[in-house]
Amino acid sequence: MTALESLSHWRLERDADGLAWLIFDRAGSAVNALSADTMAELATVLDALDAQPPKGLVIRSGKSSGFIVGADVNEFAELTTPEQGRALVARGWNLFNRLAAVRYPTLALIQGHCLGGGLELALACRYRLVEDAPGASLALPEVMLGIFPGWGGMLRLAEVIGAPAALDMMLTGRGADARRAAALGLVDARVPPRLLLAAARATVLSGKPPRRARGLGAWLNRWPLKTVAANRARKQIAAKDPQVHYPAAPAIVEIWEKHGGNALQAPQLIDGIIASDTARNLLRVFRLQERLKANGRQAGAAPVRHVHVVGAGVMGGDIAAWCALKGMTVTLQDQDLARIAPAIKRAATLFSRRLKDPRAARAAFDRLVPDPAGGGVPLADLVIEAISEQPEAKRGLYQTLEPRMKADALLATNTSSLSLETLRVGLAHPERLVGIHFFNPVAKMPLVEVVHADGIADATLARACAFVGQIGKLALPVKSAPGFLVNAVLAPYMLQAMRSVDEGLSPATVDAAMVAFGMPMGPLELADTVGLDIARAAGQELAGGAEPPRCLAERLARGDLGKKSGRGFYEWRDGKPVKDKAGGPPAPAGLAERLIQPLIDATRERVDSGVVADADLADAGVIFGTGFAPFTGGPLHYQSSRST
C-alpha cells in the first residue's frame, strides 16, 4: 500500500489533463476540521506532489457541510504547556508556508463555511473560488475564542485584501458571504454551483498572477504606514475593551505589525494567550454554544414550512419577519391591516439589510403575507401567539385557533412570564402547547427559550427545538416557571441596580461599573430598553410583591417608560441614551460584584429547582440571553472560579 492509499481523510485524484484534485473528507466527522492527523496526511500529499508535480492542484471538500470549519478546537482544550502551544502554531504555520511555496498553481474551491484554519489554508493557495450560494461564509473568527489566526492568516489576509479590511475581519471575527468576499478581493470570483468545477479547472490553469491588495490598503501593509494602521486599531480596541478583558485582539495587532504575522517570533504572546483564563473560558462558551445548537438538531422532527403568527406588535411582527427571512412562508394576523403595516415596514428594512441581493430580499418579502382574517391558520405547521400578556385573552384566542389547526401543527406562545399550566386550561390538546420565547430585538438575540410543562408531548418539545434550530437560533429547553431562566435572573439584577440609584448613585455610574465588568450594556440602560413597565411587572412577580425601588416608581408615575417613551433612567435621542458623565458620588469599591450577585444567585436557584437541566446550560442561557460577559465563562462558572 502506498502512502496515498493509506490516507484516511484526504483523497487525491489526477485527471487526463494532469490536474490534481484533492478532496478533504475527514473520517468519522460531519464536518471538516484541521487536526494533527489530518494535517500530517496533508503533508504526505504534498510529498507525493513534490515527487510528481501536477499542472495544477484544486483543493475541495468532500462534505456537504462546507469546506473547512477551522482547527479542531478539542486540541486547543488539551494544551497544558507553553511548548505544546508553540508546537501547535508551528504545525500550521510551517505546513501552509509549504503549500504557498509549491511550484504548481493551487486553488481552494470553497463551498459553505471556510473558517479559521480553513481560510488560512485557502489563503495559502494561489487562487480561491467561492460557490455563489446561501451559507457561504469566509472568516477568521479566532478572536472570538480568545486566540489568534497563527497559521498564516495574519500575514496573508492583509496581503490579499489590504490592512484595514483584514484587521477588521481579524479583530471582530465577522465573516464575509460570497458576494462580500468577491467585493473584498478575498476570492477571485463567486461562481454558480453548476459551473464550479469548470471554473476551478480554468482558473487554476490560467496562469494569472495571484490577487493582491492595491491602493491605500496595500500601502498600509508597509512601514511607516503600517504603524499608523496598527495604532488606529489599538485605539478602537481600547475604546471597546478598556479593561483588556480580551487580550487576543491587541496581540493580533502586535503580531501583524511587528512580526510580519508570524506568532512564532513572539513566543511570549503565544504562551500568554493560550494560557489565559479568557481563552479557556471563551472555548467553554464555544462548546456551550455547540450544545445549544445540538438542541436544534432533532432527528426525525418534521421541518416547519409555514408559520402563522398572531399579533403584529414589535415581537410578533419581528418573529414573523425573521421566519420569512429564513425561508418560511409566514402569515401575520392582527385585527386589521393598519396594525400589520408597521411590522411589514420593519420587515422590509430587515430584508434589505440582511439580504444584499434585491431579488432575495424581494423573495423574503413575498413570503411574508398580511393575514388579518387568519386564513393561514389551517395551513400552518406552527402557530405562534404573540399578543398581550393577559391570560384570558390568550386562552380566548386559543379557543378560536385550535379547532382550525392541522392535527399535527404546533401551538406556541411567546409569553415572557405566564405559565403554560395557566394558558393551556381549556385546550382540547394541552400536550401540544409549547412556549417559544424570543428576546428583543429578535434579529440580534441568538437565544430562544423553549418552555415546557409537565405532560407536554415529547414530539412537541423536539419539534419546537428543531424549529428554533431551523431559523438559526439557539434552543434552550426550560421548564415553565415565573420568568423561565433569562428574565428570572435579569429582574433581581436590574432591581439591585435601581436600589443603588435610590442610595444616591447616578444611573450612569451604576451602568459604567457593569460595562467595565464586561457586560454589553449596563442594567439601567437595559431596563430602559426593555421598558420600565415591563421591568416592574417582572420584578413584582419574581420578588413576591415587594415594593418596587423608589426611582422606578417615580419614573412610572411620570409616564417615563424608557426608550419607547423617550425618557426613563436616561433621555433617549435617535434611539440612544444620553448619559451625563459627571454628577453624584463615585462608584463605591465592589459595586459590580454587589450588582451581579443577585443574578448569580438567581441562576443557581433556577438550576437547583430544575427550571434548566444543569449549570452549564444555565451559563449558556444567561450568556446568550443577556450578553453576560463571555470571557468569564458564565455566571456560575465565574462564581466557582472565584472561590477556588
Grid cell for residue 496: 439591585
CATH 3.40.50.720 given to domain 301-480: yes
CATH 1.10.1040.50 residue window(s) in the chain: 486-643
Residue 581 is predicted with a pLDDT of 65
DSSP letters, 335-363, are: SSHHHHHHHHHHHHHHHHHH--SHHHHHH
Check pLDDT > 90 for residue 413: yes
Q: Where in the chain is the domain with CATH 3.90.226.10?
A: 10-275
In contact, 440 and 627? CB cutoff 8 Å: no
Task: Give the separation between CA 541 and CA 466, rounded to whole angstroms.
Answer: 31
In the chain, pLDDT over 90 holds for what percent of residues?
A: 78
CA of 288: how far to CAs of 34, 93, 261, 281, 615, in Å?
Answer: 21, 29, 30, 10, 11
pLDDT band at residue 457 using 50, 70 and 90 as cut-offs: confident
Q: Is the pLDDT of residue 542 over 80?
A: no
pLDDT digits (tens, 9 = 90+) for 193-249: 999 999 999 999 999 999 998 888 778 888 888 899 899 999 999 988 888 889 999
Q: Topology of domain 486-643, per CATH?
A: N-(1-d-carboxylethyl)-l-norvaline Dehydrogenase; domain 2 (1.10.1040)
Q: How far is the CA of 45 from the CAs of 34, 152, 396, in angstroms?
A: 15, 20, 67
How far lies 393's CA from each of 257, 334, 388, 421, in Å? 62, 14, 8, 15
Query: Mean of the per-residue pLDDT values for the chain?
Result: 92
**Domain spanning 10-275: which superfamily?**
2-enoyl-CoA Hydratase; Chain A, domain 1 (3.90.226.10)
Separation of alpha carbons 239 and 137, rounded Å: 28
| Under 8 Å between Cβ of 59 and 115 | no
Is 595 within 8 Å of 493 (Cβ atoms)? yes
Higher pLDDT: 221 or 396? It is: 396
What sign results for the dihedral spanned by CA atoms 214, 219, 222, 227? negative
Which positions are annotated as active-site residues?
120, 142
Give mean pLDDT, residues 480-504. Answer: 92
Half-sphere exposure of 354 (CA within 13 A, CB side): 21
pLDDT single digits (tens) 71-89? 998 888 888 888 898 999 9
Provide the pLDDT confidence category of residue 27 given band limits of 50, 70 and 90: very high
User: Mind listing the pLDDT tens digit for each residue in 283-299?
Assistant: 999 999 999 999 999 87
Residues of the chain with CATH 3.40.50.720: 301-480
DSSP structure class, residue 27:
T
Which ranges in 220-313 belong to alpha helices (H)?
225-240, 248-258, 267-274, 277-295
- The 3-state DSSP class for residue 261 equals coil
Q: What is the mean pLDDT of residues 134-138?
A: 90
